[in-house]
Amino acid sequence: MFSEGSHLPPPVHYWQDHRGLGSPLAVISRHVRKHSLPLPDRAVAELAARTGLLESTVRRAAEYYRSMAAREDHPPLMVCQGTACRLAGSGKLRESLEKRKLSCHGVACLGYCDAAPALLDERDAAYTGDAASEFDEHRGFSQSILGHPLPRMESLSATPLILPRLLQGGAATLKEALSMGVYEGLRSALQQPGQVMLDLMTASGLSGSQGRVAPRWHTCAATDAVDRYVIGHAHAGTSGAVVDRLLLERDPHSVLEGLALAARAVGASHGILFIPADYPQALQQTEAAIREATAANLLGRNILRSHWSFQVSLFPGAARCAGGEATTLIDAIETLRGQARPQPPAPEVAGLHRLPTLVEPLETLVQLGTLAKDGSEAWTAQGTAECPGTRVFCLNQGFAQPGLVEVPHGHNLRDLIENWAGGGAMGSPLEALILGGLGGSLLGPGEWDFPLCPSRMTASGLRLGNGSLVAIAQTADLRDVLSHFLEYMDGESCGKCTPCRLGPAGIVSLAARYERLARVDRKPRDATRARRDLETLFHTMELGSLCSFGQDLPGPMRRFIDLFWDRIFTKTS
Amino acid sequence: MPAVDHTPLPSLALINGRELTVSPGETILQAARRLGIDIPTLCHHDRLSPEGGCRMCVVKCAGHPRPLAACHTPLEPGMEILTHHREVERIRKTLLTLQLTTAGESGLEPGVIREGRFTELLVSHGFSLPRRTPPPVKTDTSHPYLRWQPSACVSCRLCLNTCEQIAGHFVFGMEKLGAASRLTIDGKAGFNGGACSSCGACVDVCPTGAISDRDREKPRNRRETNPAPPVETVCGYCGTGCRMIVHTDKRGDVGHIDGVPNAAVNHGDLCVKGRFAHGWHHAFDRLRRPMLRSGAAFSAVPWDQATALVASRFQEIAAASGPDSIAALVSGRTSNEAAYLMQKFMRGVIGTNNIDSCSRLCHSASELALSWMLGSGSASACFDDIELAGCLLVFGTNPTESHPILGARLKQAALHGVPLIVVDPRRTDLSDFATLHLPVKPGTNVSLINILCRLVLEAYGETTAAQVGAPGLEFEAWRDFALSLPVPEASAITGVQERDLRLAARIIADSAPLLTLYGAGVTQHVRGTAGVIALANLALLTRGLGQPGGGLLPLRGQNNVQGVSDMGAMPDHFTGYQPIRSADTGTRVAETLGFNLPGKAGLTVTELPDAILAGNVRALWVMGENPLRSLPDTAKTRRAFEKLEFLVVQETILTETGKLAHILLPAAAGFEIEGTFTNAERRIQRVRPAVEAPGEARPDWIIISQVARACGAHWHYLGPEDVMREVGRATPETHGGVSYQRLEQSPDGLQWPCPDPAHPGTKRLHSGGFAPGKGRFVPIDYEPSPDHHRQDYPILLITGRALEHHNSGGMTLRTPNQDLPTAQGLALHPHDAARLLLVDGDEATVESAQGSLRVRVRISNRQLPGTAFLSIHDGSRPANRLVSALPDPDSMTPQYKAVAIKISR
């Protein structure tokens, strides 16, 4: 081990920038998007020379991005397979595109839930809603990345904490960001020791989907280690990540400032932004922002002539990463495999490269600038006692008025659905709601009367998840929704632990058995047993899975089956 | 104030109602095992970090809403664990049911799973064994040893984790997600793809037989009935000395080989050679009967006649030309006992010191320089220091190929953050894991080490330097010499950038203790001894000698090359490095062994060809060596050997040298003998016969004894044990306490010095300081090699080993190793190749002052520009034809590592 006080250069990891050219992995992922695998030796050698990585690492990285690789050197269309898009008919869209001999690649979520369905063409321009449904492969060169209209956005809080800059149209460049006061928080935090930021965090009671964030920061800061990491992650691979995409595309400097402030608070010297490689525009904007901020000495060595240095690396994640579970992200960064790791130790104690690692969603990070600049009053003044502050919800296009809304914690869900979003699209009543992604909560119409407060929800067995709200209309194909649940879990599971890896397949085979038995209707006892077996399986998945992804997903799925059992199975027979 | 008892109460937990004390960091699984409670696991392995994937080890814990995985959850005070609660049993059964019923998605075919850990789990959970079905896909048998049957894979990742966390290779991967996730082997390339070193560690851990090997997949009739119990012995390849278990098959042949779990050296691991390359023991061309030359052909003769003939011819020649006209060569493959008897025969029966071993060709420089400087010619450190080192300097050796088990341990140390500096002209596998790689120009080691010494001295500053320089060590003179060396000049000589030199020195200065592992890249040079002296200076400067995690560790090439030297198979030393010239040695030999030691030092093997050609040596006994392949300047060596009047070759197979013999004596091989081997860390370990020698082949010690008796000596050894007892008497300082009885009791052997039966052996030399007059600094300056700066031969050739083959390939080329993808041919840097207009695969002529070869060119950017590499195993292109016979004047080791050549199309 490196001895204390050693002046050795710290080891340089492959995901770090070796040559001052930005993320070496971004270079490789972009190359893979445009070329088919396996890459020829010459391409590998060139990429190795460009990025400063070993050839074997280049090969491994290219393999990691396999799912987005071009076919016969032609980049495929990326069709969103998120829940919102699925309900909006992305399955049929994909079928029709493939019928037209267009190569398609299904993506966990492109982040356009409010305007589903969505697809990206081979130049990575986004097409949503009708534009996607009527996608014409012979179209001219029209869409530009920021040309895509912003969704409806509103704050029901007088002092929005997450969306303030997006509500003003965003601040993609450093100049715009500075004019909106970004980096002022960092400037003032640099005048004070990191402990001040940590105290501010505690005072504010800033909360994420699991409740208050500060305790984890304290653990991370208190752990004895030579260095620490901070990872900011977009909700990789989970449906409903609209706000993450928008923050990265239009407010990247707030994200960077937040990352630096979190690092300042816990004493980390390195930050990593884990951004799904499926968000090419977000990736590009963030990369540009890092470059601008580094050039302006807002990141990098001796920030603003202080004694504090902080480096940010960009990690384009191949999406589909156990719903963004923290240890999975860490494993992806460390080994390019993305497999869940056993806890304890928690990432705050021993995470990336066995060093204490803070993993925070972007929504938490973007609040930190304001916190450092203006203090904690804005948090304590709103929200609930357990969870001060606000939360952004993204309502999908199944509502009459979809969009993003920032509300103080504790806001009533039914009010949000009925008054802000105007109920179901076209006035049709809703069958159910999926709150917080597929691993969140499934709520029937009678279950909407509760305050949206993470702590109180956890107490009553509900999960806030990533804050997305997806409406299931009465016209929805419930069998397809169940298939979506199963396909999502199967397609997202890292495959490490048996219950999560094989559970969905087990459910399929049990359901098929039940259906067969129910149809012939000879042995009702066997059918009962099949249903009991299904219950055992859910139980095993919930209790036996390694990480929160496998533990959380069966809940809503079971609830869904319980609610709609008859309509899924018997009616169709 | 009353006295308060501050001793904390022991923190207790309950497992299945039984109380136990919690020890920090211990997992529930480990704690349960302590109580003898068995928690089922599938993906867990004690030597790997907890995987947590199979979830079979879930246990119920009171107060916890969900069950805990025992393999990765630490036991905490107050926990109440139930390991076999109904709820967790139901989860376990559901998990096994899932494995068995989702075959369509997971690709697992239960009927293909071989009996083993997985089927045991099925049985213990009340499942009936799946009916055996033929595999839906054919087993992949494209690799010479490893077998892959995907439909038996349960995705436990034991192979993957073993490969990464122990073997240090990164062969396996997982592709896709969910039920579709599958194990990948080297991407899509399979075991033949190049990433796999074929060590077979994955086979050991596979619970279902999805990964298996050729030996385990042998037809049932050969595998199942096992007539003899498996035998524990020591590997016969490199100097690591891995302990192994040899299982025999029904015919009595070697069936399969496992590593001995918990063995001190290898912890149960083996490499491709040790685990798989045993087929040569049963090669059809093993020598089975003594053969006498008549004209160009050989004819079989009875043993009596053979030994009588050897004895009478030796006696004749000795009588005619004196005992010094006879010489003997001992191989590093023979046992300590055989080597001892051979030198005793030459000295006591024939009366000459003309005895040498292949150590002359590799580490004589170490023996000479280290004994001169430090008082002992062998490794000061032990292998366990690799994990304890503050900084690892790997100098002129490629351990992942030549000493794979040590290579793996080094790689793991580097992966765990120990700074690793690799000095090698080639970018070796290990250098990819190194903190720093210094691509030194061949033959300039002395300059590189000296300048490192200077820079470390500077980094230390006055205070530390003052601590190093105790009076009487001649430190000041050496320091002045080192500080006078200019850095830019050294950088120009060695071809290593100044910046890298400074960084290396800083790493060394900052991260004590320094452990230096070096190999033939240091010693096989004209200035080899100087290189070792310089390394010893660096070791003295960094004060690691004798400290845990520090010191010098020369890596020995053959299983017993250390022991052969220990046994006195050297022309100037008796056993235990007792100098021939010393009167004490003579007295002791006369007293304990009853003969007078010849006073004149004998000939080294390097001097032998000239001595034969000059007519000074007329008869030669070669035991287990193949000098025609291993000595430099093959043409001259052949001329000399052809001139010999009487050449006895005692061998297991017919080698190039054997073809020139007048009489061939069939010897028993490594798995057929009783004895001891001493590895590179001075560890004496027991070797036991696992299979019978073919035909009339006999162990070396018996052959030598019989020849000695035929010469009239009164040798009556009861067995190798008896010989070792005599070694102890003749060498009490180092081997006095070594006996077979003790070696049986401590299966990991004894590390000499072990002077008396109560002594535990010595892990590290010099831990109590140096012998009087030793441990001094010696200024030694760089001198260019005669092969440098030759206009006519501009490229420097390095010769060496390949992973798959051992030295000249005599053994490994008689096994399926010959089918392994070995990097063949002359490796050249792309720039050199381009200049010579050569492309990959071209045939080219390589010429040196000694001779020429036609070889295929392999272009490799791992090569330093201006250098080339050629492996020595290929008998059709013997690399040594090119090597100059001009040796290091001190150690008489030839310069195999820097041969001036030119290449033409």
Cβ atoms of B628 and B638 within 8 Å: the answer is yes
Contacts of A344 in chain B (CB under 8 A): 72-74
Q: What is the 3-state secondary structure (H, E, C) of A375-398?
A: CCHHHHCCECCCCECEEEEEECCC
Residue B221's pLDDT is 41
Residue A2's pLDDT is 32
Span A233-245, average pLDDT:
77
Fold of B14-97: Ubiquitin-like (UB roll) (3.10.20)
Residue B421's pLDDT is 96
Chain A stretch 30-49, residues whose beta carbon is closer than 8 A to a beta carbon of chain B: 38
Closest CA to B389 of B361, B423, B412, B362: B412
Cis geometry, peptide bond prior to residue B513 (ω within 30 degrees of 0): yes
- Helix or strand (DSSP H, E) at B391: strand B391-395
Closest CB from A344, A502, A543 relative to B67: A543
Q: Convert the pLDDT of each residue in B320-349 to its tens digit.
A: 999 999 999 999 999 999 999 999 999 999
Chain A stretch 295-354, residues whose beta carbon is closer than 8 A to a beta carbon of chain B: 320, 337, 339-342, 344
CB–CB contact A503 B98 (8 Å) = yes
CB–CB contact A506 B102 (8 Å) = yes
ipTM of the complex: 0.91
Closest CB from A502, A504, A544 relative to B58: A544
CB–CB contact A499 B179 (8 Å) = no
Span B766-770, average pLDDT:
88
Closest CB from B87, B95, B173 relative to A498: B95
Q: A1: distance to nearest CA of chain B, Å?
A: 5
Cis geometry, peptide bond prior to residue A345 (ω within 30 degrees of 0): yes
Residue A143's pLDDT is 52
CB–CB contact A3 B511 (8 Å) = yes
**Ramachandran bin of B831, using left for φ above 0, alpha for ψ from -120 to 50, beta for the remaining angles:** alpha
Q: A450: distance to nearest CA of chain B, Å?
A: 24
The pLDDT confidence band at residue A566, using thresholds 50, 70 and 90, is: confident
> Number of C-alpha atoms within 13 angstroms, CB side, residue B572?
11
Domains of chain A: 77-147 (3.40.30.10), 153-380 (3.40.50.11540), 391-472 (3.10.20.600), 478-569 (1.20.1440.230)
3-state secondary structure (DSSP) of residue A310? strand
Contacts of B514 in chain A (CB under 8 A): none
Q: Convert the pLDDT of each residue in B777-793 to its tens digit.
A: 999 999 998 888 888 99
What residues contact residue B239 under an 8 Å CB cut-off, 6+ apart?
B332, B403, B555, B556, B557, B558, B559, B560, B561, B562, B679, B680
On the question of pLDDT at B301 being above 70, the answer is yes
Closest CA in chain B for residue A544: B55
On the question of pLDDT at A368 being above 80, the answer is yes
Average pLDDT along chain A? 88
Residue A56's pLDDT is 83
Distance between alpha carbon A204 and the CA centroid of its chain, in Å?
Answer: 24
Q: Is A490 on the interface with B (CB under 8 A)?
A: yes
Contacts of A551 in chain B (CB under 8 A): 66
Residue B698's pLDDT is 95
CB–CB contact A490 B179 (8 Å) = yes
Contacts of B64 in chain A (CB under 8 A): none
Closest CB from B58, B155, B435 relative to A495: B155
Closest CA to B333 of B806, B897, B743: B806
Distance between CA atoms of residues B707 and B306, nearest Å: 9
Q: B878: distance to nearest CA of chain A, Å?
A: 32
The pLDDT confidence band at residue A234, using thresholds 50, 70 and 90, is: confident
Distance between CA atoms of residues B640 and B611, nearest Å: 9
CB–CB contact B180 A494 (8 Å) = no
On the question of pLDDT at B580 being above 50, the answer is yes
Cβ atoms of B652 and B697 within 8 Å: the answer is yes
Residue B745's pLDDT is 92
Contacts of B108 in chain A (CB under 8 A): none
Residue A4's pLDDT is 36
Chain A stretch 60-89, residues whose beta carbon is closer than 8 A to a beta carbon of chain B: 60, 63, 66
On the question of pLDDT at A20 being above 70, the answer is no
Higher pLDDT, A510 or B750: B750
Q: Convert the pLDDT of each residue in B233-249 to its tens digit.
A: 999 999 999 999 999 88
Closest CA in chain A for residue B507: A8
Closest CB from A2, A492, A501 relative to B417: A2
Q: Convert the pLDDT of each residue in B428-463 to its tens digit.
A: 989 989 999 999 999 999 999 999 999 999 998 877
On the question of pLDDT at A161 being above 70, the answer is yes
Residue B117's pLDDT is 92
Closest CB from A11, A320, A540 relative to B177: A320
Q: Convert the pLDDT of each residue in A550-562 to its tens digit.
A: 999 999 999 999 8
φ, ψ dihedrals at A165, nearest 5°: -75, -35
Residue A515's pLDDT is 76
CB–CB contact A493 B177 (8 Å) = yes
Q: A113: distance to nearest CA of chain B, Å?
A: 24
Residue A358's pLDDT is 96
On the question of pLDDT at B897 being above 50, the answer is yes
Contacts of A54 in chain B (CB under 8 A): 432
Cβ atoms of B662 and B292 within 8 Å: the answer is yes
CB–CB contact B53 A499 (8 Å) = no
Strand A270-276 to A311-317 pairing: parallel
B456 exposure class (CB count in 10 Å sphere: 0-12, 13-18, 19+)? buried
Rg over alpha carbons for chain A, rounded to the nearest Å, is: 23
Q: Which CATH number fits domain B364-554: 2.60.40.10, 3.40.630.30, 3.40.228.10, 3.40.50.300?
A: 3.40.228.10
- Other CB atoms within a 10 A radius of the CB of residue B823 amount to 15
Distance between CA atoms of residues B183 and B714, nearest Å: 64
Q: Kindly write down the DSSP assignment for every residue of B810-865, as one continuous string.
A: TTGGGSGGGGS----SEEE-HHHHHHTT--TT-EEEEE-SS-EEEEEEEE-TTSPT
Q: Is B417 on the interface with A (CB under 8 A)?
A: yes
Q: A202: distance to nearest CA of chain B, Å?
A: 28
Q: Is B76 on the interface with A (CB under 8 A)?
A: no
% of chain B at pLDDT higher than 90: 76
Span B1-20, average pLDDT:
72
Closest CB from A7, A498, A536 relative to B510: A7
Return the minimum-mean-pLDDT range out of A45-59, A311-325, B492-506.
Answer: A311-325
Q: Convert the pLDDT of each residue in B802-813 to its tens digit.
A: 888 887 888 888
Tokens of B724: 């070792």
CB–CB contact A495 B52 (8 Å) = no
Q: Convert the pLDDT of each residue in A268-312 to its tens digit.
A: 999 999 998 888 889 999 999 999 999 999 999 899 999 999 999
Average pLDDT along chain B? 91
Closest CA in chain A for residue B459: A7
The pLDDT confidence band at residue A335, using thresholds 50, 70 and 90, is: confident
Q: B581: distance to nearest CA of chain A, Å?
A: 47
Does domain B131-282 sit in CATH 3.30.70.20? yes
Q: Is A8 on the interface with B (CB under 8 A)?
A: yes
Span A209-229, average pLDDT:
92
How would CATH label the architecture of B795-904? Beta Barrel (2.40)
Closest CB from A494, A504, A543 relative to B66: A543
Span B148-177, average pLDDT:
92
- Other CB atoms within a 10 A radius of the CB of residue A432 amount to 23
Contacts of B90 in chain A (CB under 8 A): 536, 539-540
Size of interface A-B (CB pairs under 8 A): 153
Domain boundaries, chain B: 14-97, 131-282, 291-361+560-751, 364-554, 795-904
Distance between CA atoms of residues A374 and A151, nearest Å: 28
Q: B446: distance to nearest CA of chain A, Å?
A: 25
> Number of C-alpha atoms within 13 angstroms, CB side, residue A556?
28
Q: Do domains B131-282 and B364-554 have the same CATH topology?
A: no
The pLDDT confidence band at residue B222, using thresholds 50, 70 and 90, is: very low
CB–CB contact B53 A496 (8 Å) = yes
Residue B471's pLDDT is 67
Q: Is A539 on the interface with B (CB under 8 A)?
A: yes
Closest CA in chain B for residue A319: B177
On the question of pLDDT at A144 being above 60, the answer is no
Which CATH code is given to the segment(s) B291-361+560-751?
3.40.50.740
Closest CA in chain B for residue A540: B91
Q: Convert the pLDDT of each residue in B45-86 to its tens digit.
A: 999 999 999 999 999 999 998 999 999 999 999 999 999 999
B133 exposure class (CB count in 10 Å sphere: 0-12, 13-18, 19+)? exposed
Q: Is B496 on the interface with A (CB under 8 A)?
A: no
Q: A66: distance to nearest CA of chain B, Å?
A: 9
Residue B226's pLDDT is 63
Residue B305's pLDDT is 96
Q: A428: distance to nearest CA of chain B, Å?
A: 36
